C-alpha cells in the first residue's frame, strides 16, 4: 500500500550539444550546500559576490548586473520587456531561431519591429544596419544575437555598436552561447543590455540568466511611462533586491545561485583570456578533424563554442545522434527550423571544451560514419600549439 | 596575479521562516546528480515522472500539470497572463501581500480588476464573493490566495468555488504556502488554475513553480484571440514541451527538476494525509506554546504551515530575530506591509514541521524573551496525541 519511489539515478553523459555543457563536480557540490533564506545576511553576501564575479565575466562596471531567476530565455524576455514600451520602434536582426524569438518577444511587448533578416548561417552586415536605421529613424533599440545557437554564426559587433549609438539607439545583445567562451567585452562594445544563460560556456546547470544593463538602459527603464508588463521580470523591482535596499521581491533560486557562484569562480580562476584561447584552440582542432572527414560548416564565421555542420547526403542524421548517445553517452544537437534533419550542432562549451572531448567525439564519428583521418587532423592542430 | 576564489561554505540554518524550509539531504543530493540535456530521453522520462507525482500531490487528473521554470511568483504570473486577455473582467481577492501582487500582475496583463478587499489577517467571506460577482456579472475569473504567506490566514474555498462556477467564471488559486502541508484537492474543489512554489511545504530549494490548469482553463487559453504577453510563460508552448510532442521551448532547469522529483517522492512516500496531519499536530503544539508565553496569532484562521504572531509591545522585533539567527541559527520571518516591525512569521513547512523544530524554537524564544511555560504547553499537546 505505501509508495516507495524508484531510486533516482540519472546516467552520466558527455554533453557536447548546444547546451547544457558538462558541469564540474565542484559546481554540483556547491549547489548541494544547505539552503539559506533569501534575506539571510550570508545569502546576501553571496549575491554581492555573484554580482561582482558577473561584472568581471561580462567585463563591465554596470551597476545593474545580476542573475534573472529563470533560464536564458527569461533573460531575453527581461531585457526586452524592460527596455521596450508599447509603440517603441525597434530593429531586430533575424538570422536564426534566437533572432526570431527576440522578434516575437519584442512584438509581445508591444514594440513596432523592423525585422532585419539575413539567411540562416550568415551574419548581419553593418551596412544593412545602417540602412535599417535610415529607414526607421526613430529606432529606440537594436537587438542582435552575438552567438546564434541555431546556426553557430559568430556575429561581429564593433561596427554595429558604433552605428547604433550614432543613431541614438540602445544596443541589446544575446550572449547566451558566447559569454565566457568567446571574446566579449560589454563596456568596450558599449552594449546597453546583454543576457546569457548559465548552462553554456559557464558550465553551470540551467536555471539562471546573467544580465547587465548600461546606465543609459537603466535611465530608459526608470523613465518609463508604463509599468513593465512582467511583474516577475521588472528590473526596477529586481534592482531594489539586488541593490543596497534589499527589498523582498521574489524568493531567489538559492541553490542555483550557489552553483553560479562556483561556476563564475572557476571562470575567473582560469582567467577570461585563457578561457577564450582554450575555446578557440579546441574549436580549431575539432574543425580540422571534421573537415578532414568531409563535414562542412554551416556558418561562414563559426563560433568557437558551437560547431554547426551539414549532415552529409545519405547519412541518417537522427540515427547517428542516437548511436552517439547510446553507444558513447555523447550528446550532440540536432538542427532547428530549416536545418531540421540536415545539421548537427557540436558544442565545445566551458568544461566541455577540452582536448579529450574533441578527440572522443571525432573517434566516435569516425567509428559510426566509417571514415578516418579526423583524429589525425585534430592531433596536428594540437601538435602545432 | 592569478585569482583564487574563497572557499564556498554557506552556514547551516534551521529554516523556520515563511520559506524556504529545510531541504532534506536526499533532495540536495538528487539535485547534485550529473546534468542531462533537456531533450535527453532519460530527462524526458524524469519530466514525465515529475508530472505524474505533481498530479498526485495536487490531487488532480489535469493534463496540463507541470513545473514552471521560475520561483512561485513566476507561477503566479504564468497562471494569470495565460488566463487573462486585455480587457477581461476579473475579481481579485486582496487580504495581504500576495493578493495585492495578484492584482498588480492581473492589471499588467490588461485585466479590468475588481479588487475585493478584506483586512489583513482576515479571510474572504463567500457572501462578499457573491456580491462582487453580482456587481461585475461579466467576470471571467476570480483570483484568491489559499494560504496568505504575509498574514498566515487560511482561506476556505469550498463555498467560494461553487459561487464562482455558478457565475460561469474560472477559479484561480495561490497555493504557494499550502501545497503538501495543508489539505488541498484541486479536482474536488474544481480549481481551474493553481500555482505553488517548491521551497515551502515541498521542502525543495526555490526555483520551480508547480502549476496545474483544468480542461476549462486550457480551453480558455487555446481560444485566446491575442498572444500571451509573456513568451517565456506561454502555456500553449510549454504544453508542447511537456506533452507528447516534446517541442523545444526553453532549456529546462534540469537539476532543479531533479530536486523537485525527489522532494515529491518524499511527499508521496509519507502520504498526503499523514503529511497534512503532521503539519496540523506540530502547528497545534507550537500554537499552544506561543500562546502560553503570551504571544497572539494574527489570523482568525491560521495555516498549519505558517504561524503569524503579533510582537508584544516593548519587544525589539528585529533584535530578537537577529539573535535567533546568530545565537541559534534559526531563521524566522519578519512582518510585511502593515505588519512591518510588528509581526513574526514562524514557518512549520515540510521538513521544518517536526517536534524538534517546535520545541527548539520555543526554547529559544523562552530564553531570549525571558519567559517560560511555552515548552511545557507544547509538550502537553504531543502527550495527548
CATH number of B25-269: 3.40.640.10
A251 vs A348, residue with greater confidence: A348
Q: Calculate the dihedral angle through the C-alpha atoms of B33, B35, B39, B43, rounding to the nearest 10 degrees.
A: 0
CA B22, B26, B27 angle in degrees (round to 5)? Answer: 60
State the average pLDDT over residues A258-285: 98
Contacts of A6 (CB under 8 A, 6+ apart): none
Q: Is B67 helix (H, G, I), strand (E, B) or coil?
A: strand
Which neighbouring-strand residues pair with B306?
A: B347
Which of the residues A33, A68, A251, A323 would you substitute to probe the B interface, choosing the one with the greatest number of B C-beta atoms within 10 Å? A251
**What is the secondary structure of A87-141 as a DSSP string?**
T-EEEEEESSHHHHHHHHHHHHTT-EEEEEE--TT----HHHHHHHHHHSTT--E
Cβ(B229)–Cβ(B284) under 8 Å? Answer: no
State the average pLDDT over residues A155-165: 98
CA A102 to chain CA centroid, Å, is: 14
Q: How far apart are CA B177 and CA B20, in angstroms?
A: 10
Report chain B (385 residues): mean pLDDT per 10 consecutive residues. 90 97 98 97 96 98 97 97 98 98 98 98 98 98 98 98 98 98 98 98 98 98 96 94 88 96 98 98 98 97 98 97 98 96 98 98 98 98 95
CATH 3.40.640.10 residue ranges of chain A are 25-269
pLDDT, position A1:
56
* Among B72, B102, B352, B337, CA closest to A251: B72
Which helix (DSSP H) or strand (DSSP E) does residue A334 occupy? strand A333-334
CA B64, B70, B76 angle in degrees (round to 5)? Answer: 65
| DSSP summary character for residue B2 | -
Examine the pLDDT at A299 and tell me if it is beyond 60: yes
Q: How far apart are CA A89 and CA B198, in angstroms?
A: 39
In Å, how far is B65's CA from the nearest CA of chain A?
Answer: 19
Cβ(A280)–Cβ(A305) under 8 Å? Answer: no
CA B259 to chain CA centroid, Å, is: 17
Contacts of A316 (CB under 8 A, 6+ apart): none
Chain B residue numbers touching A42 (CB-CB < 8 A): 10-11
In Å, how far is B240's CA from the nearest CA of chain A?
Answer: 16
Q: Is the peptide bond before A20 cis (omega within 30 degrees of 0)?
A: yes
Q: How many CA atoms lie within 13 A of A137 on its CB side?
A: 1
Chain B residue numbers touching A47 (CB-CB < 8 A): none
Q: How confident is the model at residue A147 (pLDDT cuts 50, 70, 90)?
A: very high
Q: Is B94 helix (H, G, I), strand (E, B) or coil?
A: strand
CATH 3.90.1150.10 residue ranges of chain B are 272-384
Span between the terminal Cα atoms of chain A, in Å: 64
State the average pLDDT over residues A201-208: 98
pLDDT, position A311:
98
Q: How far apart are CA B153 and CA B97, in angstroms?
A: 12
pLDDT, position B63:
96
Check residue B153 and give left, alpha or beta (phi > 0: left; psi -120 to 50: alpha).
Answer: beta
Q: How far apart are CA A203 and CA A260, in angstroms?
A: 9
Q: How confident is the model at residue A2 (pLDDT cuts 50, 70, 90)?
A: confident
Q: Is B72 helix (H, G, I), strand (E, B) or coil?
A: helix
pLDDT tens digit sequence for A208-263: 999 999 999 999 999 999 999 999 999 999 999 998 888 888 889 999 999 999 99
Q: From residue B327, give the alpha-carbon distance in Å to each of B14, B18, B364, B381.
A: 12, 20, 9, 27
Contact flag A4-B269 (C-beta cutoff 8 Å): yes
Residues in chain B: 385
Q: What SS3 string covers B121-181?
A: CCCCCHHHHHHHHHHCCCCCEEEEECEECCCCEECCCHHHHHHHHHCCCEEEEECCCCCCC
**What is the secondary structure of B223-284 as a DSSP string?**
T-SS--S-STT-HHHHHHHHSTT----S---HHHHHHHHHHHHHHHHH-HHHHHHHHHHHHH
Buried b (16+ CB within 10 A) or exposed e, B247-283: ebbbbbbbbbbbbbbbbbbbbbebebeebbebbbbbb
* pTM for the model: 0.98
Please tell me which of the candidates B229, B254, B269 has its beta carbon nearest to residue A3: B269
In Å, how far is B299's CA from the nearest CA of chain A?
Answer: 22
Cβ(A253)–Cβ(B205) under 8 Å? Answer: yes
Cβ(A339)–Cβ(A95) under 8 Å? Answer: no
pLDDT, position B1:
55
Please tell me which of the candidates B31, B227, B265 has its beta carbon nearest to residue A31: B31
Q: Radius of gyration over alpha carbons of chain B, in Å?
A: 21
Contact flag B3-A197 (C-beta cutoff 8 Å): no
Q: Which fold has domain B272-384?
A: 3.90.1150
Q: What is the mean pLDDT of chain A?
A: 97
Domain A271-384: which CATH number of 3.90.1150.10, 3.40.50.2300, 3.30.428.10, 3.40.190.10:
3.90.1150.10
Contact flag A32-B33 (C-beta cutoff 8 Å): no
Amino acid at each position: 500500500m505505501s509508495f516507495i519511489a524508484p531510486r533516482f539515478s540519472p546516467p552520466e553523459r558527455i554533453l557536447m550539444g548546444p547546451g547544457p555543457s558538462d558541469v564540474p563536480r565542484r559546481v554540483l557540490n556547491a549547489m548541494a550546500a544547505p539552503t539559506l533564506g533569501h534575506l539571510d545576511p550570508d545569502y546576501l553576501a553571496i549575491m554581492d559576490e555573484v554580482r561582482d564575479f558577473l561584472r568581471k565575466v561580462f567585463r563591465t562596471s554596470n551597476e545593474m548586473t545580476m542573475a534573472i531567476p529563470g533560464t536564458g530565455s527569461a533573460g531575453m524576455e527581461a531585457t526586452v520587456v524592460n527596455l521596450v514600451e508599447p509603440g517603441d520602434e525597434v530593429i531586430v536582426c533575424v538570422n536564426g531561431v534566437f533572432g526570431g524569438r527576440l522578434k516575437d518577444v519584442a512584438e509581445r511587448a508591444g514594440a513596432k519591429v523592423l525585422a532585419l533578416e539575413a539567411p540562416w548561417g550568415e551574419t548581419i552586415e553593418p551596412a544593412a544596419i545602417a540602412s535599417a536605421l535610415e529607414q526607421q529613424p526613430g529606432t529606440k533599440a537594436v537587438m542582435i544575437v552575438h552567438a546564434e545557437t541555431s546556426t553557430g554564426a559568430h556575429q561581429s559587433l564593433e561596427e554595429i555598436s558604433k552605428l547604433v549609438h550614432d543613431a541614438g539607439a540602445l544596443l541589446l545583445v544575446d550572449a547566451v552561447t558566447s559569454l565566457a567562451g568567446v571574446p566579449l567585452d560589454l563596456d568596450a562594445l558599449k552594449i546597453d543590455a546583454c543576457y546569457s544563460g548559465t548552462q553554456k560556456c559557464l558550465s553551470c546547470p540551467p536555471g539562471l540568466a546573467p544580465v547587465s544593463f548600461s546606465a543609459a538602459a537603466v535611465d530608459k527603464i526608470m523613465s518609463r511611462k508604463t509599468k513593465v508588463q512582467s511583474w516577475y521580470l521588472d528590473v526596477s523591482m529586481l534592482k531594489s533586491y539586488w541593490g543596497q535596499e534589499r527589498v523582498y521581491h521574489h524568493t531567489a533560486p538559492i541553490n542555483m545561485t550557489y552553483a553560479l557562484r562556483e561556476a563564475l569562480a572557476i571562470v575567473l580562476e582560469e582567467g577570461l583570456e585563457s578561457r577564450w584561447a582554450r575555446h578557440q584552440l579546441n574549436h580549431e582542432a575539432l574543425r580540422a578533424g571534421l573537415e578532414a572527414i568531409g563535414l562542412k560548416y554551416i556558418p561562414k564565421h563559426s563560433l568557437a563554442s558551437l560547431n554547426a555542420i551539414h549532415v552529409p547526403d545519405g547519412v541518417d542524421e537522427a540515427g547517428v545522434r542516437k548511436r552517439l548517445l547510446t553507444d558513447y553517452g555523447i550528446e550532440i544537437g540536432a538542427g532547428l527550423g530549416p536545418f531540421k534533419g540536415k545539421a548537427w550542432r557540436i558544442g565545445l562549451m566551458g568544461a566541455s571544451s577540452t582536448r579529450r572531448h574533441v578527440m572522443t567525439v571525432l573517434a566516435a564519428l569516425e567509428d559510426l560514419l566509417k571514415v578516418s583521418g579526423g583524429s589525425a587532423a585534430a592531433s596536428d592542430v594540437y601538435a602545432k600549439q
